[in-house]
Amino acid sequence: MSKQSGDVPLQKEAQICKMNIDGGIELRSRFWIGEEIRVRGLLRKFFNLLLSKPSVKRKIIPKNIGKHMFRHCA
């Protein structure tokens, strides 16, 4: 699954739900934030090349995203 903000995919995610023998449910989530940031439009080749660079991703993805994802998933 891919989350989007407008035309820009922000993350890939996978969620697996497993039924336990005792009747409980276990949910596992994996997130690849900023894995493939892509834009559409006239200058997409330029922006997609720019957005694929780790140095650019470090600037546009908030440093505390892990803490926020942990709180969201708890």
pLDDT confidence bin for 2, thresholds 50/70/90: very low
pTM: 0.54
Is the pLDDT score of 9 beyond 70? no
Provide the residue ranges of all domains of the chain, joining segments of one domain with +. 2-73
Distance of alpha carbon 13 from alpha carbon 3, whole angstroms: 8
Distance of alpha carbon 52 from alpha carbon 55, whole angstroms: 9
For the stretch 18-72, pLDDT in tens is 998 888 998 888 888 887 777 888 888 898 889 889 898 888 888 888 888 778 7
**What is the reported pLDDT for 52?**
87
**What is the reported pLDDT for 7?**
47
- Residue 26 contacts residue 49 (beta carbons within 8 Å): no
